[in-house]
Amino acid sequence: MSVVLDTSFVVALIDADDEQHDAALACFHATDQDFVTTPLALAEIDAAAGRLGGERAQRAIRDDFDSGLFALRWWADGLRDALAICRERPDVGLTDASLVALAARLHTTRIATFDPDAFRTLSTRDGQPFVLLPADAQHPSLTESEGSLA
């Protein structure tokens, strides 16, 4: 099962001074699942890396995506799906909507984020709440079945 990757999680991973850095690192190392994001979030991640560490940090995060450490996924109707979520929920930004649409596409409820307010009021197509990692992780291993979390 994949984990959808929010910008806030990657920022915490790459910024050793971030108060969530240790939690992000522990969560990242605790799972063998794929971390996947959308091009909209990748653009935010790239910009954040540049602000935090300049060209060197941008190059490092781009290398991480290029090597497959993190995956990027988009599909022909991705924008349409994200915009439909925005129309349904005008309070949700396009990037977050793209992550919710990606979760639906990947059949996952897991989103790695340190911005829980953005996702706590959202749900899957069938009304299930999202499992927000690392906040909702109650077990030391995230490799267990979906039912063992939250």
Write the CATH number of the domain with boundaries 3-143: 3.40.50.1010
User: What does the pLDDT read at residue 144?
Assistant: 44
Q: Read out DSSP for 89-148? A: -TTS-HHHHHHHHHHHHHT--EEE-S-HHHHTT-B-TTSPBPEEETTT--SS-TTS-GGG
For the chain, what percent of residues have pLDDT higher than 70?
A: 91
User: What does the pLDDT read at residue 138?
Assistant: 63
For the stretch 97-121, pLDDT in tens is 999 999 999 999 999 999 999 999 9
In the 8-state DSSP scheme, what is residue 132?
Answer: E
How large is the average pLDDT for residues 71-78? 97
Average pLDDT, the chain: 92
pTM: 0.90
Q: Determine which of 14-23, 98-107, 134-143 has the lowest per-residue pLDDT on average.
A: 134-143
Domain boundaries, the chain: 3-143
